[in-house]
Amino acid sequence: MLRCLADRTNLRGVAVEGTTVVEAARKAQDTWPTATAAFGRVLMGALLFTAFLEDDTPQRVSLQVVCQGPIQEIFAEADTYGAVRGYVTNPHVHLDPVEGKLDVKGAVGEGTLHVVKDLGVGEPYHSSVPLVSGGLALDLAYYLVKSEQIPSAMALGVLVDPQGRVDSAGGLLVHTVGEVPDRDLARLEEAFNSLGSISHLMAEKGPRVVLKEILAPWGTWAWVERSVEWRCRCSKARAQGTLIALGKEDLEKLLEQGDTQVECRFCGKVYGFSKGEIQNLLKGLEGEGGRFT
């Protein structure tokens, strides 16, 4: 992922080439082609949104698309270190292509985009907007304009091969960082309208060239580069916390069943807990008066 500033106007560009990220996500969630394309777009969007956070801090941003289409829900969480993870409620969605492209809008349909920024201090910031497109790039740009008053243009794309694997994936965001003349905004809009497939561009040229070309009328400077990866933060300790949160009554029911397994919703990793471990968790709860604190 690369970002830079335009030299002669108040614009900033961010671009991400995320083929390996989206392919890892596809394998983890077992998504079918249309779901892969929709999921990948949200993952790329979450990574692009980390450009609004403070570098090298525990700050995170999450995007949640709750929709009426067959995919139902898409969630993605990214941090300032370049890690992203997510899940799809219904990963087995594949619709007939529309004009030769995967029908992401049909998979998503109407719904709501929820954005949560965890800045590491106080309560996380939460905002929601209705989906205006279902294609997701326009929806994310609309959020930036509507909720944060940041005029923006965004392109997201995922190309899936005939075997269902991710052939290429990428995203591009250009937004204002101050007052920008109308003529510059019009020129930027024209450039985005003639951009073509962003997934192809990222695969062929890479994020640096794509940014230089989109911002060519003004020049570029202040480049920042960061690697990105699909990475889950799950652990047995987190899985244990999930069990504790169930409470005393549900833990007693699990104890009757014997050994217990907790599967991570993001990466699918399974954590096993023996009957003795469940008993120890119950003892801990009883020591706290049956409450998890």
Query: pLDDT tens digits for 32-90?
Result: 999 999 999 999 999 999 999 999 899 999 999 999 999 999 999 999 999 999 999 99
pLDDT of residue 288: 52
Gap between the Cα atoms of 113 and 254, Å rounded: 36
Contact 198, 173 (CB under 8 A): no
pLDDT of residue 293: 33
Q: Where are the domains of the chain?
A: 2-230, 236-287
Q: Measuring CA to CA, how many Å separate 82 from each of 17, 22, 143, 158, 243?
A: 12, 13, 22, 19, 29
Name the CATH superfamily for 2-230.
Answer: Hsp33 domain (3.55.30.10)
Q: Where are the alpha helices (DSSP H) in 149-274?
A: 182-193, 198-214, 236-246, 248-257
Q: Mind listing the pLDDT tens digit for each residue in 176-207?
A: 999 999 999 999 999 999 999 999 999 999 99
DSSP label of 54: P
Q: How many CB atoms lie within 10 A of CB 187?
A: 13
Sign of torsion over alpha carbons 84, 88, 29, 136 = negative
pLDDT of residue 126: 96
Q: Measuring CA to CA, how many Å separate 221 from each of 4, 15, 212?
A: 6, 14, 10
pLDDT of residue 287: 62
Q: Where are the alpha helices (DSSP H) in the chain?
A: 19-29, 33-49, 104-108, 137-148, 182-193, 198-214, 236-246, 248-257, 275-287
What is the CATH T-level fold of the domain 236-287, as seen in this structure?
CBS domain Like (3.90.1280)
Which pair of structure tokens corresponds to residue 45? 């969007």
Bridge partners, 260 (sequence order): 273
Which pair of structure tokens corresponds to residue 108? 């998503």
Task: Return the closest-CA partner of residue 135 out of 157, 104, 94.
Answer: 104
Q: Mean pLDDT, the chain, as a whole number?
A: 94
Evaluate if residue 291 carries a pLDDT over 50: no
pLDDT of residue 286: 72
Contact 285, 244 (CB under 8 A): yes
pLDDT of residue 70: 98
**Cα angle value 179/181/187 (rounded, 5°):** 125
